[in-house]
Amino acid sequence: MSPDSLALELVALSAAVVAAVALSVFWAAMRRWLRAVVIAVCLLTVTATTLVWVNRQVDSYPTWASLFGSTADAAVPTTPTAKTTNAATAGHIVRFTVTGKTSGITVPMWAYLPPGYQESGTTRYPVIEALHGYPSSPVQWLKGFDVANVLDREITSGRMAPTVVLFPYQTPKPMIDTECANLVNGPQAETFLTVDVPEFARTHLPVRTDPAAWGLIGYSAGGYCATMLALRHPAQFAAAAGLSGYATPGIVIGNNLEHTEYDLVWRLKHLPIPAVSLYLSCAKTDKFALRSTQEIAKAAHAPLSLTIAYINGGGHNAGTWEAMEAPAFDWLSNSLGRPTIQSTVSPSPSTNPPPKGTLLAGSPAVTTRPAGGR
């Protein structure tokens, strides 16, 4: 019975009802101190019921361990739940533990492996890092947004290329809001997401390593994260999709950086603008996100490519992000390089190494072959 389970919510609700009934029925028989205790129990149980409901909405604490500051494992369906799934049409979810050697952050990370994925195969997939909101966890992508089924549907329908999607934590402790930044005297979340996670993926998964095939997506705080990381690391990410994201981190990063480098509008106005592609989507009723999106759009110009999608209705909630999910993934796939086939030819010992960044015609370095035909 996890903290985000329906069973726990029903138990908490039952406890609230029992406490209220007990208070009412045994009121006359109770001493004063006992009445105070039962009243407190009533308030605690109703508070617990509310908090469990909220946790079920945001999946901030998917495990009991996470309640005590650990970003521990959570029970996540490893295969999509669609009735017609099979190996050819369904991807699956796997869990890793990423030990961040550079950032010092060690947390679980889930990965969606697309239909047809073979660990020992020669296909090298594009990668999308999917970032969660705050308070929340990667589990909301997996359980709340049903992301595996969404990705399966988009890939099998040909609207999206087979892609590996990573779901990392962006904080070492659930209650610490990092906004994916390197906090001064705090967690180095930015380093974790831009150095450790890519390094882990390159080492453990058959993914493309060049920036043309790396993208970001996130909702709420994760939306800010995706946009911020793409602007700050254009040599690593080609595109980013921010769903209901903001223009500022909304936290204190330190050294006044939250008002400069990490303020996206300030950044666009004062620093060189990179040639990356951004997709910003929000509900028109989500005033904070709408204002941020409009400010970013006003400050952005070439070489930045910006696509904006507004939704009438909705809000800053899971239902709205679910509606944004598939179009955003499709847009990302159209903004990233394709899966390639890694050549199995070994480099010839007599081949002269080309200069860095240079392809030598006829060398094994250029024998990768796109695998777009499906």
Partner 1 sequence: MSLIGVPLIVCAVLATVAVLAATILVWNRWGRLRFVLRPFGVLLTEALLVVSVGLVVNRSEQFYPTWESLGQSSKSVGTTYVVNAGGLDAWLRDHGSDVSDQGSAFPWQAAGWADWHLAGEPLVFTPAGYLAHTGWRYPTVLVLDDGKHGWTTASETAAARGAGGPVVVVFVRTTPATTPETLTSVLPAALAHDLRVTDKRWSLVAPAAEAALADKIVNAAPGRFPTLALVKPTAAAGRTPPAGGPKKPVKPPVKPPAKPPVKPPAKAPAKKPPAKPNTASKPNRPTTATALPVGIITTTVVETAFTAGTADPAGAADRSGLAAALQWACSQTPPPLAASTPAATSLPVYHSPHHAKHPEPNGSEAPKPRGGKHVTR
Q: Considering only residues 11-40, where is the footprint of partner 1 by CB under 8 A?
A: 16-17, 20-21, 23-25, 27
Query: How big is the chain, counted in residues?
Result: 374
Q: How far is the CB of 372 from partner 1 (least distance, A)?
A: 3
Q: Residue 121, interface with partner 1 (CB under 8 A)?
A: no
Choosing from 9, 129, 179, 286, the residue that interacts with partner 1 (CB under 8 A) is 286
Q: Residue 55, interface with partner 1 (CB under 8 A)?
A: no
Choosing from 10, 37, 305, 347, the residue that interacts with partner 1 (CB under 8 A) is 305
**Euclidean distance between CA atoms 119 and 205, whole angstroms:** 7
* Best CA proximity match to 217, nearest among 78, 343, 325, 109: 325
- Give the count of residues interacting with partner 1 (CB under 8 A): 116
Q: Residue 351, interface with partner 1 (CB under 8 A)?
A: yes
Cβ contact 202:96 at 8 Å:
no
* Best CA proximity match to 107, nearest among 75, 141, 74, 79: 74
Select the span of 80-88, 105-113, 134-142, 330-338 touching partner 1 (CB under 8 A): 330-338
3-state secondary structure of 145: coil
Fill in the per-residue mask, 218 to 257: x = in contact with partner 1 (CB under 8 A), - = not in contact.
Answer: ----------------xxx-x--------------xxxxx
Cβ contact 269:301 at 8 Å:
no
Q: How far is the CB of 134 from partner 1 (least distance, A)?
A: 12
Q: How far is the CB of 324 from partner 1 (least distance, A)?
A: 7
Torsion of CA 66, 188, 226, 214, to 10 degrees: -110
Choosing from 73, 294, 295, 322, the residue that interacts with partner 1 (CB under 8 A) is 322
Q: Residue 338, interface with partner 1 (CB under 8 A)?
A: yes
Query: Nearer Cβ to partner 1, position 14 or 64?
Result: 14
Please enumerate in sequence order all residues whose Cβ is within 8 A of that of 360, keeping only pairs 6 or more positions apart, or say none: 351, 352, 354, 366
Q: Residue 344, interface with partner 1 (CB under 8 A)?
A: no
Q: How far is the CB of 175 from partner 1 (least distance, A)?
A: 17
Strand segments, DSSP code E, in 71-158 are: 92-99, 106-113, 123-124, 127-131
Q: Residue 75, interface with partner 1 (CB under 8 A)?
A: no
Q: Residue 327, interface with partner 1 (CB under 8 A)?
A: yes
Query: Nearer Cβ to partner 1, position 55 or 281?
Result: 281
Cβ contact 34:19 at 8 Å:
no
Choosing from 312, 344, 345, 346, the residue that interacts with partner 1 (CB under 8 A) is 312
Q: How far is the CB of 28 from partner 1 (least distance, A)?
A: 9
* Best CA proximity match to 119, nearest among 96, 97, 85, 147: 96
Q: Residue 79, interface with partner 1 (CB under 8 A)?
A: no
- Report CA 37 to chain centroid distance, whole Å: 43
**Euclidean distance between CA atoms 274 and 233, whole angstroms:** 9
**Pairing state between β 123-124 and 214-219:** unpaired
Q: Residue 356, interface with partner 1 (CB under 8 A)?
A: yes
**Euclidean distance between CA atoms 107 and 99, whole angstroms:** 7
Interacting residues with partner 1 between 150 and 189 (CB under 8 A): 153-154, 157-161, 182, 184-185, 188
Query: Nearer Cβ to partner 1, position 73 or 322?
Result: 322
